[in-house]
Amino acid sequence: MLSILRKARLKDKEMRILMLGLDNAGKTTIVKRIMGEDVNTVSPTLGFIIKTIEYEGYKLNIWDVGGQKTLRSYWRNYFEKTDALIWVVDATDRLRIDDCREELHGLLQEERLSGACLLVFANKTDVNGCMDPEEIREGLQLNAIKTHQWHIIRCSAIASTNLQEGLAWVVQDAKNRLFLF
């Protein structure tokens, strides 16, 4: 019994988070900023990065996968047992919002992501003239999503605003669903 409890305790409070979005949305910058690393030397991710963050006693394993078009078809390699999906949107990129919407809705069709909650990070909101959350909600047709819990939040990785709030929502939502007892 003690070994079962010990195992349970090890797995308790551990979450797997998948960070996706189009290329140049700022996924890696967000991760680096949260980890407190240098954000000025970020180059396009040609592959993937795994980082572990301690947040309010929870251990968040963040999988940051490159967003280049060629890589997107491989996203589903990483879906296994995902608790939360963080979708990063470049709020200054009005041109590709349709592209962005299609990718997101395609993802949500996947069987393996059916249990995950969705956080939309509207990144780069420190830039003037960016889209506001309402516009993004429209553009991504978030209201049409019935299968997942979702939430949209403005943030800026460069200015380091609202990142912690985003994580807080993810953890809170997971608490409500996963750690009922």
Partner 1 sequence: MDVPEDADLQVQRASPDLIVDLHISLEPFLWRTDTAAPAGVRTRRVRRRVRAREADRIVALLEPFQELPQLLDPHLQTLVPILADAFIASLQSKPLKKTSYTKLLIPLSKAICRLLYTFCKIRGEKVIVRFLSTDTKHLELLLSAIEAGDVDAHQDAGAEDARQANEDQVADQWEWEHRYITLLWLSQLLLAPFDLSTLSSLNTDVTPPAISGLLLPTNTPGVTLRVVSLALRYLSSSGKERDAAKILLVRIAMRRDMQALGLLDALIKWSIASFDPPEVSEQTSSYHYIGVLSFLSGILNASLATSDMDGYLGTIFRILQGEWYREVMDVVNRSVVARKAVLTVLRNICVIVLRSPEFMNEMVEVIEITIGTILESLTDSATPVRLAASKSLSVITLKLPTDMATQVVDEVLASLMRDVTVVTRGQEQTQNLSLVNPSEWHGLILTLSQLLYRRSPPASSLCEILPALLAGLSFEQRSTSGASLGTNVRDAACFGIWAIARRYTTSELQAINISKAAIASKHGTKCSILQILATELVVTASLDPAGNIRRGSSAALQELIGRHPNTIEEGIKLVQVVDYHVVALRSRAITEVAVQASRLSIWYLEGILNGLLGWRGIGDPDASARRTTAVVYGNLANLGAVNDLITKFSELKPREDHERHGMLLCVASYYTKHREYESFDIGGVLQYANDTKHRRVDLIAEAVSRLIISVTPTGLKQNDLIIGLLNKWLRRTETEVIEATAEAAFTVVQSLSCERKAAVFSGWIAVITENQGGRSGQDQGILSALFQAFPVAELSQGTIVSAIHRRWNLVHDVESRAAILRYLTSSTALTTNLEEFSDLIIDGLDDYTTTARGDVGSLVRIEALKSTSAILKASSTHCNPELAMKLYSKTLRLAAEKLDKVRVEAQQAVSHILSSNIFPSSLDTSDAFLSYPTTSEPYFRFILNLCFNKPEVHSLGAAELLSGYVGSANTGSEELVRASRAALVAFCLLSEDNSRLICGALVAVLKVNLTNDRVLVPTLEAIAFLFDMQIFQDSGVDWKTLHITVQKSHFKTGNIRKLEAAIHVYGGLGEFYAPAIEKLTTMAIHPFPRVRERVVDTMFVVKGVGKGVNWPKAGKLDLLKLK
Does residue 90 contact residue 130 with C-beta atoms inside 8 Å?
no
**Contact between 71 and partner 1 (CB under 8 A)?**
yes
Cα–Cα distance for residue pair 113/98, rounded to 1 Å: 21
Could you count the other beta carbons within 10 Å of the beta carbon of residue 87? 25
Helix orientation angle between 97-108 and 133-140, rounded to the nearest 10 degrees: 60
Number of amino acids touching partner 1 (CB under 8 A): 30
In whole angstroms, how close is the CB of 156 to partner 1 at the nearest point?
26
In angstroms, what is the minimal distance from the CB of 133 to partner 1? 29
- The answer to whether residue 179 forms part of the interface with partner 1 (CB under 8 A) is no
With tokens 């396009």, the residue in question is 44
The answer to whether the annotation marks 124 as part of a ligand binding site is yes
21 binds partner 1 (CB under 8 A): no
Q: Which of 25, 65, 86, 100 binds partner 1 (CB under 8 A)?
A: 65
159 binds partner 1, rule: CB under 8 A: no
User: Nearest 5 degrees, angle CA 74-CA 76-CA 77?
Assistant: 75
Q: Is 24 exposed, middle or buried (0-12, 13-18, 19+ CB in 10 A)?
A: middle
Rounded to the nearest whole angstrom, what is the least distance from the CB of residue 91 to partner 1 in the complex? 25
Token pair of 37 as six digits: 């690393």
Known binding residue 40? Answer is no
CA distance between the termini of the chain: 18
Check if the beta carbon of residue 90 is closer than 8 Å to that of residue 124.
Answer: yes
Query: Which lies closer to partner 1 via its Cβ, residue 114 or residue 164?
Result: 114
Stretch that binds partner 1, among 87-95, 108-116, 137-145, 164-172 (CB under 8 A): 108-116
128 known ligand binder:
no
> Is 92 annotated as ligand-binding?
no
Contact residues toward partner 1 (CB under 8 A) are: 1-2, 4-5, 9-10, 46-50, 52, 54, 59, 61, 65-66, 70-71, 73-78, 80, 111-112, 114, 181
Kindly list the catalytic residues. Answer: 68
